Structure 1
Amino acid sequence: MLTFIGLGLYDKTDISEKGLAFIRSADIVYLECYTSRLMGTTIEELSAYYARPVHPLFRDDVEQHPDAFLTEAEGKNIVFLCAGDPMVSTTHADLRMRAAARGIRTAIIHAASISSAVCGLSGLQNYRFGKSCSLPFPQKNWFPTSALDVILQNLSLRLHTLVYLDIQDERFMTVPQAVDLLERMAADHQAAIPLYVGIARAGSGEPFVRAGTADAIRSVDFGPPLHVLVIPAELHDMEREYLEVFAGL
């Protein structure tokens, strides 16, 4: 059996009681370490808290070479841990379908996700979010602009956009870096992004939220990762008031 377990947003205590019970009864515990991170803990701390060794998995392990742990799941109780909620990532949905194709029984234990947490932290109403997107670090001769396409389409529909910021090993994109990239794209396309909402360390005891124009947000120190960015569409009165009270708009 393969059980997908969400760990929540920030540290070892975010997991549900149900998830913790499944982990402690598992034969093998894996932790997916590339789509997101729990910045408030370490693998060693998780292993001690769960009283079970935690084995890290990286992109190639999950996307290119999942057969090793899928074969284990044919005869053992395997848990697959990830930050946030398991099925927010399409990679995990694909993995569950691969398991089903092999006749492996699967289950999901859900947890808090950044896609819902941003609504509480920003006051932006969940039903007004359109398609989300990811913003990668540019590489040599590669400067993808698909994120701007999503943002502009959502703005045209009066929908907010959740922008996931890139993680590369121990390099974490910050909100000001993301704003700089999007402003470069917008200038090249003669477009404008009127408002940004940056969020840092969602799920921690001291999350940080700021809203403002590009110039205002670029001057803010959001502190340690993880960061995420929201591009709001035209605000409802309650959304604007919430951002004024809790995000310095």
Structure 2
Amino acid sequence: MLTFIGLGLFDEYDISLKGLEAVREADLVYAEFYTSCLMGTKPEKMEKLYGKKVHLLSREDVEQQPDWLDEAKDKNVAFLTGGDTMVSTTHVDLRLRAEKLGIEIRLVHGASIASAVSGLTGLQNYRFGKSASIPYPYESRRGARIISETPYDTIKQNSELGLHTLVFLDIDKEKGYMTVNLALGLLLEVEAKRGERVIDRAVAVGIARAGSEKPVVKADYAENLKDFDFGKPLHILIVPGKLHFLEAEALVKLAAGPEELMEDIN
């Protein structure tokens, strides 16, 4: 059996009791932390609480050569991930591979940033549109700096429909964890290149260290927010669409947003 277990948002204590029991019953425990990771803990702390050795997998181990799946044919294998276990398409693909191998599957869900952002900001979860991911810029063969414009297009489309956009920020083995500041800077670069005005006059919300005892949640106009100090990772960005009056009030009172938000609604 292969049991997918979501670990939640921040540290080793975010795992559910059902998940903890499944880990302790497993013959082998694997984990990947390249799609997301728990910033409030380390593998050693997880092993101490779980009572099991945690074997870390690389991107290649999960996406290209998941040979370890064969062990789940006759052993009880646990696969740990940050957040919820099936939010990432990588994990869905892995589940489908296991199904093709005839491996019995079990899912143990965990808290996800996709739902936590609504609780932290007061933005209503049913008013979110398609999410986006901002990757780090890369260099072309000719040495030009290339910024993906796809996230900008997604935000623009959602904005036209009055919908909020949840923006995931890149985690790179060499470049590290993308910040809200860099993400906004990249979006504003795309906007300047196009000569449009979607981001610079929009309200944005940055969140840092969701799930910790003292997460940072800050709303402001994008031009101002890009200079705000959010501190250590993980960061995530939201670009709200049209605000309901309760959402505007929540951003002012819960996310220290500008008072003008209430005036805009009224």
Q: In the alignment, which residue of structure 2 is the partner of 1:157?
A: 161
Q: CA deviation at 1:14?
A: 0.3
**Residue identity (%):** 53
Q: In the alignment, which residue of structure 2 is the partner of 1:247?
A: 255
Relative to the length of structure 1, the TM-score reads 0.98
In 1, the alpha carbon distance for the partners of 2:177 and 2:103 equals: 35
Question: Greater shift after overlay, 107-116 or 142-151?
Answer: 142-151
**How do 1:178-217 and structure 2 match up within 5 A?**
178-191=183-196, 192-193=198-199, 194-217=202-225
Q: What secondary structure is seen at the aligned counterpart in 1 of 2:139? A: coil
Q: In the alignment, which residue of structure 2 is the partner of 1:126?
A: 125
Are positions 1:168 and 2:172 aligned together? yes
Question: Greater shift after overlay, 183-192 or 95-104?
Answer: 183-192
Q: In the alignment, which residue of structure 2 is the partner of 1:74?
A: 73
Between Structure 1 and Structure 2, whose CA radius of gyration is higher? 2
What is the aligned residue count? Answer: 248
Q: In the alignment, which residue of structure 1 is the partner of 2:152?
A: 148
Q: What secondary structure is seen at the aligned counterpart in 1 of 2:56? A: strand
Q: CA deviation at 1:107?
A: 0.7
The equivalent position to 2:242 in structure 1, one of 224, 228, 234, is 234
Q: C-alpha root-mean-square deviation of aligned residues, in Å? A: 0.9
Are positions 1:65 and 2:65 aligned together? yes
In 1, the alpha carbon distance for the partners of 2:152 and 2:83 equals: 25
C-alpha contact 2:147 2:186 (8 A) present in aligned 1: no
Q: Could you tell me which runs of 5 or more consecutive residues in structure 1 were left unpaired when the two chains were aligned.
A: none
Q: What secondary structure is seen at the aligned counterpart in 1 of 2:232? A: coil
Q: In the alignment, which residue of structure 2 is the partner of 1:20?
A: 20
Q: Could you tell me which runs of 5 or more consecutive residues in structure 2 were left unpaired when the two chains were aligned.
A: 141-145, 258-266
Relative to the length of structure 2, the TM-score reads 0.92
In 2, the alpha carbon distance for the partners of 1:110 and 1:151 equals: 28
C-alpha contact 2:147 2:190 (8 A) present in aligned 1: no
Question: Greater shift after overlay, 169-178 or 18-27?
Answer: 169-178
